[in-house]
């Protein structure tokens, strides 16, 4: 599957304050997710952000929260963001291609990805924008998600496939602002 900005949605899973300090390379995961948010905004790709049990896990990190609109935030209790039904009923969720990042790779990200695949969505997981407390859990989760049909991609793969071509004003804007 080649990613298409007109068919994609960016899903950020549970990048929350109380969990992030425990995530291996958590700052890097957040920075890469923020980068994806910027590129998605430039290209008009819808964004959804999940927040798992914020009373216990804390709010979405300000680095992400400051770049999203209130209607893009979906709270949940289940590990899978799909399980409660409110994610896929969101107006932006009707797109076929889901670009997924967040934490934890082996819990909420994986369960969400497996449910998205089961619902007929195409899913790409951005390797450098997902994280777990332990590196082995992330490795196992990426392998399992791939086994069930998710594509494992880099953030630049996403950006260049969304752009589709060079020599446009949009390409120059993304190149200048995000690809150095």
DSSP calls for 31-85: HHHHHHHHHHHHHT--EEEEEE-HHHH-PBPHHHHTTS-GGGEEEESSSSTTTTS
Q: Is residue 13 one of the residues assigned to a domain?
A: yes
Q: Is residue 2 one of the residues assigned to a domain?
A: no
Tokens of 132: 């777990």
Q: Is residue 126 one of the residues assigned to a domain?
A: yes
- pLDDT tens string, the chain, 180 residues long: the values are 899 999 999 999 999 999 999 999 999 999 999 999 999 999 999 999 999 999 999 999 999 999 999 999 999 999 999 998 889 999 889 999 999 999 999 999 999 999 999 999 999 999 999 999 999 999 999 999 999 999 999 999 999 999 999 999 999 999 888 987
Q: Is residue 1 one of the residues assigned to a domain?
A: no
User: What is the residue range of 121's domain?
Assistant: 8-178
**CA–CA dist 106, 109 (Å, integer):** 6
Q: Helix (H, G, I), strand (E, B), or coil: what is residue 154?
A: coil
Contact, 101 vs 33, CB < 8 A?
Answer: yes
What is the domain count for the chain? 1
Contact, 29 vs 104, CB < 8 A?
Answer: no
Q: Is residue 67 one of the residues assigned to a domain?
A: yes
CA distances from 19 to 25, 28, 156 (A): 12, 14, 26
The CATH number that applies at residue 128 is 3.40.50.850
Q: Is residue 3 one of the residues assigned to a domain?
A: no
């Amino acid at each position: 599957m080649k990613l298409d900005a007109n068919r994609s949605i960016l899903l950020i899973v549970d990048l929350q304050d109380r969990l992030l300090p425990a995530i291996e390379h958590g700052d890097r995961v957040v920075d890469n997710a923020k980068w994806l948010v910027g590129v998605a905004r430039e290209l008009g790709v819808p964004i959804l952000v999940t927040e798992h049990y914020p009373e216990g896990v804390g709010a979405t990190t300000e680095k992400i929260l400051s770049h999203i609109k209130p209607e893009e935030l979906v709270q949940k209790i289940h590990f899978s963001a799909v399980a409660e039904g409110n994610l896929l009923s969101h107006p932006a969720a009707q797109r076929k291609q889901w670009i997924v990042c967040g934490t934890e790779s082996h819990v909420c990200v994986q369960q969400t990805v497996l449910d998205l695949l089961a619902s007929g969505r195409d899913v790409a997981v951005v390797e450098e924008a997902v994280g777990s407390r332990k590196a082995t859990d992330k490795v196992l989760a990426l392998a399992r998600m791939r086994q069930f049909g998710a594509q494992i991609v880099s953030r630049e793969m996403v950006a260049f496939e969304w752009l589709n071509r060079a020599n446009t004003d949009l390409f120059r804007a993304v190149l200048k602002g995000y690809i150095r």
